[in-house]
Amino acid sequence: MALEREIVSDMKVMQKTDESFQMFMVFGYEIMDIYGRFLCFINRNQPNRNKPAPGRSATTSDC
């Protein structure tokens, strides 16, 4: 699954284990839409968000 591959890749880049790897979720006004879909932004919890790992942009406007 694509999400699992991304998580494993992030764990390797950050040199984290299953126990030490953390993610964060950001919610807007609603948590779920009318169809029951979860509405949130999820990302890895990196020590310094201003210095992303190679291959990652610092902002979404760089994409």
Residue 21 CA to residue 61 CA, distance in Å, equals 26
**Within a domain: residue 61?**
no
Structure-token pair, residue 9: 């890749």
Is 42 within the bounds of a domain? Answer: yes
Residue 62 lies in a domain: no
Query: Each residue of 2-34: pLDDT tens digit?
Result: 889 999 998 998 889 999 999 988 888 888 999
Domain for residue 63, yes or no? no
Helix (H, G, I), strand (E, B) or coil at 60: helix
Domain that holds residue 15: 2-47
Give a yes or no: residue 39 inside a domain.
yes
Q: Does residue 52 form part of some domain?
A: no
Give the chain's domain count. Answer: 1
**Is the whole model's pTM more than 0.75, yes or no?**
no
Is 60 inside a domain boundary?
no
Residue 41 lies in a domain: yes
